Amino acid sequence: MRKCFPILIVMWAAIVAGAFMLNMYIVHKNAEKFVRTESEAFFDLLVTIRQWNSGHGLVYVPTSGDMQPNPYLIHNRRDAVTNFGDSLTMINPAFMTRQLSELAAADGVTRFHITSLNPIRPANKADGWETKALQTFKDKDNRVFEKIKTGDSLTFRFMAPLITEQSCLACHATQGYRLGDVRGGISINTAYHRDYAMASQGKTLTIYAVVFLAGFFPLLCFRLSHKRDISAKNRELQFLGTSKDKFFSVIAHDLKTPAGNIQMLSEMLQNQFDDIDNEERKSYIDMLAESARVHHDLLNTLLDLSMLQLGSKQNVPERLNIRILANDVLQQTRLQAQQKHIGLANLSDDCFARADRNMITTVVRNIVTNAIKFTNPEGQITISTAKGNGEITVSITDTGIGIADPVKNRVFAVDYHKSTAGTANEPGTGLGLILCKEYVERNGGRIWFESEPGKGTTFFFTLPEFED
């Protein structure tokens, strides 16, 4: 996740940026379409108004300072006076279009004017773009629309032809136009609403920024929680690392003692076999066997712990009948108990836990072996089980010597594993309970004890109850 995070963020940013650009492209295209539709409607409206004008033949308006007779209109009734003495002048479609265009120009956004390749009024002469358009016009369906960029400004230009109709011939027949001829066109310029577009772009950008953040924050939270997990794990590993180093250095030292004893005793036997009597030989062999056993136990436990640390030992939970498992362990340790005249009480009730068989067998065996080890002859060891809250609690009670107060805090400590000799001087490794704790916890349980020096000890551990 650490390496993926920047890639994910960049990918997310690229997706959002891509979507934003696509959106803006669509917005601009739509704006273009809108301007074209607007220009066409504008043109059609102007043509309708012009038809209204030419359809009446004569449309008069009062003359004023702004409204002077049209010098380009050659008509014998161009100017008139009403019965009331008001002077009127005739407005033809071209003059009317110009006047409307001047009014519209005051607004600023859309400008239009009539134009022709052969204008009566020189000011109506077509510019380069209009000339090109007029040259392509053949009939009323020809329309030209183009987006023109000059420097920073953008203009939409639209042009459509004016077709000679019957009502136009009154004035334009003298120019040689016939019905249906393209007489010129109306050119419409629409300025690009940059401010409006920028404002809408700004709003869209804000929305996309929010979308980006909506994806960014969950990713960030996920990354941070993952980081916390990793640092917690690192801390844990570090802790284990430190104590493990210490732990293994102590163990290495411990392993040397029985190994050295085995070597020393076997060499003594080898060298002095014929010089010593049977009794002495027997005592050497007993010591040798004892050292070999301690060495073996230590190695076994170490191997188990190492496999746990390396993660190569996994628990395989199964339906475990604690009664059968505990009675099997009692059976295996019965001889040991009998030698010390210690009573072992079998479990009589079935009780099912969900746990790894080998691990839990080792746990029960270690606790029972300890109980035998730390109980004086004629003592008693009892195993019992209890159910509640979805877990099984196994308790192993002895009537032994109890655990001395200074030792109580240290029996499960990884970096402290001093062993106390048993009541019959049995040696130990000081590692058994550490292994028990690991095994119980890996099976989802807890382990603890209650002990009163001189009275005895009870070890408890829990396991999840097996549910059918």
Residue 247 C-beta: closest distance to ligand ADP, Å: 13
Residue 435 C-beta: closest distance to ligand ADP, Å: 8
Find residue 462's DSSP bridge partners.
Answer: 393
Let me know: does 368 contact 396? Beta carbons within 8 Å.
yes
Looking at residue 85, what DSSP letter applies?
S
CA distance 237 to 232: 9
Would you say 133 or 381 has its CB closer to ligand ADP? 381
Residue 439 C-beta: closest distance to ligand ADP, Å: 12
Would you say 46 or 371 has its CB closer to ligand ADP? 371
The pair of three-digit structure tokens given for residue 167, joined into one six-digit string: 């009502």
- Torsions phi, psi for 85 (to 5 deg): 90, 5
Would you say 269 or 407 has its CB closer to ligand ADP? 407
Would you say 216 or 412 has its CB closer to ligand ADP? 412
Residue 246 C-beta: closest distance to ligand ADP, Å: 16
Residue 398 C-beta: closest distance to ligand ADP, Å: 5
Would you say 175 or 419 has its CB closer to ligand ADP? 419
The pair of three-digit structure tokens given for residue 91, joined into one six-digit string: 């407005």
CA distance 111 to 394: 96
Q: Which residues bind ligand ADP (CB under 6 A)?
A: 366, 370-371, 374, 398, 400-403, 407, 411, 419-420, 428-434, 457
The pair of three-digit structure tokens given for residue 292, joined into one six-digit string: 């070999």
Find residue 383's DSSP bridge partners.
Answer: 396
* 219: exposed, middle or buried (Cβ count in 10 Å: 0-12, 13-18, 19+): middle
- Torsions phi, psi for 433 (to 5 deg): -70, -30
Would you say 38 or 297 has its CB closer to ligand ADP? 297
Residue 431 C-beta: closest distance to ligand ADP, Å: 6
DSSP-assigned states of every residue in 117-150: SS-SSGGGB--HHHHHHHHH--STT--EEEEEEE
Residue 436 C-beta: closest distance to ligand ADP, Å: 7
Packing angle, helices 278-310 and 432-442, rounded to 10: 30
Would you say 204 or 419 has its CB closer to ligand ADP? 419
* 152: exposed, middle or buried (Cβ count in 10 Å: 0-12, 13-18, 19+): exposed
Residue 234 C-beta: closest distance to ligand ADP, Å: 28
* 412: exposed, middle or buried (Cβ count in 10 Å: 0-12, 13-18, 19+): middle
For residue 18, give the amino acid letter: G
Strand 60-62 to strand 87-90: parallel, antiparallel, or no bridges (unpaired)?
Answer: antiparallel
Q: Nearest residue by C-beta to ligand ADP?
A: 428
CA distance 200 to 207: 11
Residue 318 C-beta: closest distance to ligand ADP, Å: 25
Would you say 65 or 406 has its CB closer to ligand ADP? 406
Residues 6+ apart with CB under 8 A from 325: 357, 360, 361, 364
Looking at residue 109, what DSSP letter applies?
S
Would you say 176 or 406 has its CB closer to ligand ADP? 406
Residue 432 C-beta: closest distance to ligand ADP, Å: 3
Would you say 330 or 433 has its CB closer to ligand ADP? 433
Give residue for tokens 């080890």: 373
Residue 262 C-beta: closest distance to ligand ADP, Å: 18
Would you say 186 or 298 has its CB closer to ligand ADP? 298
